[in-house]
Structure 1
């Protein structure tokens, strides 16, 4: 669905009414797994610079989706958002019905309600996060998250690594907002990661 504009997604699949970051913990209250907010809200929390948001993107390790399905059962419906296809996910201890390429799960209380969460499924290997585009880049899971007002967020340098492939105007704006605030060790990590995964990238000159 990344190829569709927000207007097209709204027209085809219906409206979104995402909660605020401070309300997201209510959805995960009692959930036994690790979760955090990714996407643009993670960058806004870090920089304090307001930016447009079409949705909100909590994230979990992909392997933990069965636990999340059990946690959400009876409270909200989960749908696998795989390219242009939406498939209802029933409570299950396995994810045999989830396509390997599927990276997002949408939630809403019922078919008559707006969508609420766009949950990103992160690639992991044991206790490590792995960059989906280059497995040579990884970090301990506990080190990819930071907290603000008791809400966990994805670290900004990891979010920028994910955005580096796109180089859309908004990606450049996010890079320009985040870079001056990054500590040197996090800037150095981003420089190494982009050099490995995307050699010759224009951001390397600024890093």
Structure 2
């Protein structure tokens, strides 16, 4: 089985396991998804989902966030970690959206990554889920770990991993690839103690001597 065949087989099996993939973060529009994804860096989705309801109640619009008192915003996101940097980035991103993009979250990769605190991972998540646009594959810690273990990449840099993965999958599946690997990374192929004995991918995993 070559690398592309393995990649597609992984996708096929995980698609059966997860028939309705969607982000674990709670959101209702592109701005809320962007904010939640920024907050999720080095933080659990569960924690973010506890923080965002009050956050969006206090600052319901992009313009409200742009005008937020930074100390108050820091306190609101404190429990997500790195709260000073996250608060600064969210406020500045909101201001840039208001000033440059007429108050609308942009829908291209180049425009999104021009926002403070937004790199390719966040941009890919927003584009795929909020706009249905597939410009790449979001690479987080789960995607990085699983694709390395499964022999789909030898790189450790997220941008290089993304470039390795994109040719392996049809463009329309790129969003789901992220969801599937995140789910499976949390449930089975976790970082510290992967449950290899229960893994439905074990027979095609290079870790088990299969190539």
Question: Which protein is richer in strand relative to its size?
Answer: 1
Structure possessing the higher radius of gyration over alpha carbons: 2
| TM-score (structure 1 length as normaliser) | 0.30
| TM-score (structure 2 length as normaliser) | 0.29
